[in-house]
Structure 1
Amino acid sequence: MYDKTSSAQFKKYGSIYDEPKEMHSDELIQKEVVTSDRVISSLYHFSEPVYVEVKEGMAYILIGDSSDGEFKLFGIHRNLEIKANMYFNIIPMMDQVRFNLIIPVNYNLKIEFLNPPYEYSRILPTINIPEIMAYYYTIKSPNYKFKGERHNIYELTFVDNGTLETSIDNVNYTLNSYDLIIYGKNQLHTQAVNSDSSCSYLTVMFDMECKDDSLICNKVFHCRKELYRAIRTFAKNISSTLPYSENLILSNFHEIIIRLFQDDYLGEETDKLPTETQQYFQDELLEGILAYIDKMVCEPITIEELCSKFSVSRSSLQTLFKNNLNTTPKKYINDLKLAKSKLLIKENKYTISEIAFMLGFSSIHYFSRSFTHHFEISPSEYAQTVFKS
């Protein structure tokens, strides 16, 4: 963090002014300086006050009152008057900066060399996730076996519930709840559920540019609170249809990967994740699916459509509904449509045929059979009882 030259901290070294200096040849000399150096090996030292006026670009000033003392970095804001006997130099924020150095005619300049040189640390990315190729949520039953695959992209697996046995190039790993692992490029990896309980997990396949992927690949990470929150946010945004959601998802995933790279530099975390998070991913996914079904209840909704929109396999979708609602997705949709049909019949705005069409039933006959089987009364008979009452 640095201050601006307009801050009180800069008053130790100089001051600022607004209007450019009026040049008088008998008093001041103006020198134009163009620099792109971000590694500073020397400093100006004038015995008289001097002036710095940036004309093009944005810049910092590195300044101190002693050649072997502490130097401070300030963002240049407005024109500068530098006190006598200061040590300073200008560092461009951008590729290049042009400034005028205004000095007295009878100046006395010394150049002080820095050993080691000062190098300005730019804030630049060292990790880049250019693309997420696929993501999906999976619920696997006991005794599930996946014989393995390898591919030229990275793959992250996060277990939110249960235990997943996995291997990478014949090295075995165990992932419990809130654990995750990253498979590197072209590594053969297998997965299996050997316990008596099911296992649910999130998979993300992605490309990544970094200096050393060995810091995060082939290693089991147990989620800290910050990492878990980042994963939850990512999972929540996956199904968003808002504009720029893709950018937000990539940003969320960048945070996950960055926190994995930081993991070795953090101390041991003693606080455990709260137990109420156990069902979070399934609850969040199910909530999104149910909200979508409710919104689209007057449209034909297919299981394939739900799987595609929410990045979940058909078998996982079936398990999700069975475990949480004790029904199948198809039956849930059909029951919701039938419940909606009763409301539409009560409104008395549409015929039975129109209601069947509005709710996406394939025919009036199929709708009538379904309604009668579910409510033990036909649609027309139900209408008569409603209107009589």
Structure 2
Amino acid sequence: MYNQSTINCQSDYFSLVEKQPDLKSKPLNALVDIRSDYTDTLFSFRHPVTVTAKDGLSIIGLTNSLSHPSHIQTYLLEGSIEIPPSVYFNVISLNKNSRIYLESQDNDEPKLLAAPQRITVALPSPSIVINNIFTLNHQAKSSPYEETGTDHPYYELILVEQGELTLTIDGNSLTISRHECAVIFPNQYLHKQIKNDSITSYISIIFDAIGIPKKVKQNVFSLKNQLSYVFNQLIHLSNNEVELFSMDRLYHLVYAILIHIAAGPLKTDNKPRLSMRENYENEVFQSMVNYIEENIDKPVQISDLAEHFSLSRSSIQKYFKKYTNETPKEYINTIKLQHSKELIRNSQMSLSEISKAVGYGSSQYFSRVFSEKYGMSPSNYAKSVIK
């Protein structure tokens, strides 16, 4: 990957002359066509030389050592730079054809020297590539539940939102709990089962990809700390009709999960990047979201959050506005109503039982809030879905 463009960088290898040079004043005999996307040679001038971008996109490679390949620095050439005589350089084209101005002093002719390594436009490709996402399914099942085994030729990503799901993969058993996930590889025999006496809601995504490492097989991965936000977004995408950019969002979410479980947490140099306050606020908000989801069957209010987390009402309102753009009450209702829709679609519970399961005091109040959110009553929604 290249460094930032020459107009955005400070370097010992060059100095910026102009960000937007007057190209009309440049001599025509200094105009050079750059057609190759690689080079094995470097230029050396006896005097400082000016290099200016004109057409297309060019990459300039520079070094002050002919014996150390790692010393070659590459930049996207923009504006106009001056290169001292102690620096060796050459320019290659990032697209099929580009042009630069190369201005030397006193008709100084360059020496051509062998580069310590080839300078090329080749960039590393992503390790994991998602080719297609075929299905996104969010469902809730009550125990005892058992699903006939399958062995489809694609990957399946399974994420548990609530409860506990037991997977038997090629005879080996895994148990996935809340905010955990597993990846089933192509042609693995999968059997799903809910054993505990509770309702389990989970997300299943069937997709085709390349580059997923084998170490991901037969493992359970936690998303609680860094990627728990994906659950609400995936549920939203599964419950709504296809909208503009919804598939883009889905690919982004699945890719983020795969990178997280394949590569692990991003390694850093332990230097703080976010402020301590930002990290603290993020952790506090995620803890409040976890509390709401763990107490989905209770009438959670802002006063409960204030007491449980020892926060003021204004602080709680600030957190929810910052991270969800909703008030605490609106967000709590969103979570409860999303869960109620899953229960309506995938369970045999009555509307009164569902109302209690998501923490509403009465079925009438539940119906009113549901209607305000979705523009139809829970009973009409139940009639509109196929169980």
- Taking structure 2 as the reference length, the TM-score comes to 0.65
CA distance in 2, matches of 1:334, 1:224: 32
Structure 2: 5+ residue runs without aligned partners?
A: 269-282, 297-329, 381-387
The percentage of aligned residue pairs carrying the same residue is 19
Give runs of aligned pairs for residues 108-123 of structure 1, distance below 5 A: 108-118=109-119, 122=123
Segment of structure 1 superposing worse, 224-233 or 181-190: 224-233
Amino acid at match of 1:186: N
Contact kept? 1:5, 1:75, Cα under 8 Å: yes
SS in structure 1 of the partner of residue 81 of structure 2: strand
Compared with structure 1, are the counterparts of its residues 333 and 45 closer, same or farther at alpha carbon in structure 2 (3 Å cutoff)? farther
CA distance in 2, matches of 1:278, 1:15: 54
Compared with structure 1, are the counterparts of its residues 170 and 244 closer, same or farther at alpha carbon in structure 2 (3 Å cutoff)? same
Residues 6-39 of structure 1 show CA distances to partners (whole Å, capped at 9, x for unaligned) of 3461475243241235438xxxx536332342x5
Give runs of aligned pairs for residues 1-389 of structure 1, distance below 5 A: 2-7=3-8, 9-10=10-11, 13-17=14-18, 18-20=21-23, 22-23=26-27, 30=30, 32-37=32-37, 39-68=38-67, 70-104=71-105, 106-118=107-119, 122=123, 124-208=125-209, 210-240=210-240, 243-263=244-264, 274=287, 277=290, 280=293, 287-288=333-334, 314-316=345-347, 318=349, 322=353, 325=356, 336=367
CA distance in 1, matches of 2:289, 2:163: 15
Amino acid at match of 1:23: P
Contact kept? 2:142, 2:347, Cα under 8 Å: no
Residues 309-344 of structure 1 show CA distances to partners (whole Å, capped at 9, x for unaligned) of x677733373897355259xxx9589948x99xxxx
Contact kept? 1:59, 1:76, Cα under 8 Å: yes
Amino acid at match of 1:151: H
Compared with structure 1, are the counterparts of its residues 14 and 65 closer, same or farther at alpha carbon in structure 2 (3 Å cutoff)? farther
Contact kept? 1:151, 1:186, Cα under 8 Å: yes
SS in structure 1 of the partner of residue 226 of structure 2: helix
Compared with structure 1, are the counterparts of its residues 102 and 275 closer, same or farther at alpha carbon in structure 2 (3 Å cutoff)? closer
Residues 127-160 of structure 1 show CA distances to partners (whole Å, capped at 9, x for unaligned) of 3334332222222223322231121222111122
Q: What count of residue pairs does the alignment treat as equivalent?
A: 319
Compared with structure 1, are the counterparts of its residues 231 and 216 closer, same or farther at alpha carbon in structure 2 (3 Å cutoff)? farther
Quote how far apart the aligned CAs of 1:231 are: 3.4
Compared with structure 1, are the counterparts of its residues 67 and 252 closer, same or farther at alpha carbon in structure 2 (3 Å cutoff)? same
SS in structure 1 of the partner of residue 218 of structure 2: coil
Compared with structure 1, are the counterparts of its residues 7 and 138 closer, same or farther at alpha carbon in structure 2 (3 Å cutoff)? closer
CA distance in 2, matches of 1:282, 1:321: 18
Alignment root-mean-square deviation, CA: 4.4
Contact kept? 1:13, 1:65, Cα under 8 Å: no
Contact kept? 1:136, 1:312, Cα under 8 Å: no
Quote how far apart the aligned CAs of 1:221 are: 0.9
Structure 1: 5+ residue runs without aligned partners?
A: 293-305, 341-357, 363-389
Compared with structure 1, are the counterparts of its residues 246 and 106 closer, same or farther at alpha carbon in structure 2 (3 Å cutoff)? closer
Contact kept? 1:160, 1:278, Cα under 8 Å: no
Amino acid at match of 2:55: E
- Taking structure 1 as the reference length, the TM-score comes to 0.65
CA distance in 2, matches of 1:232, 1:91: 46
Residues 206-240 of structure 1 show CA distances to partners (whole Å, capped at 9, x for unaligned) of 232x2244243432112242222233333344435
Compared with structure 1, are the counterparts of its residues 35 and 216 closer, same or farther at alpha carbon in structure 2 (3 Å cutoff)? farther
Contact kept? 2:344, 2:354, Cα under 8 Å: no
CA distance in 2, matches of 1:266, 1:5: 28
Contact kept? 1:64, 1:86, Cα under 8 Å: yes
CA distance in 1, matches of 2:218, 2:188: 10
Quote how far apart the aligned CAs of 1:265 are: 6.8
Compared with structure 1, are the counterparts of its residues 151 and 281 closer, same or farther at alpha carbon in structure 2 (3 Å cutoff)? farther
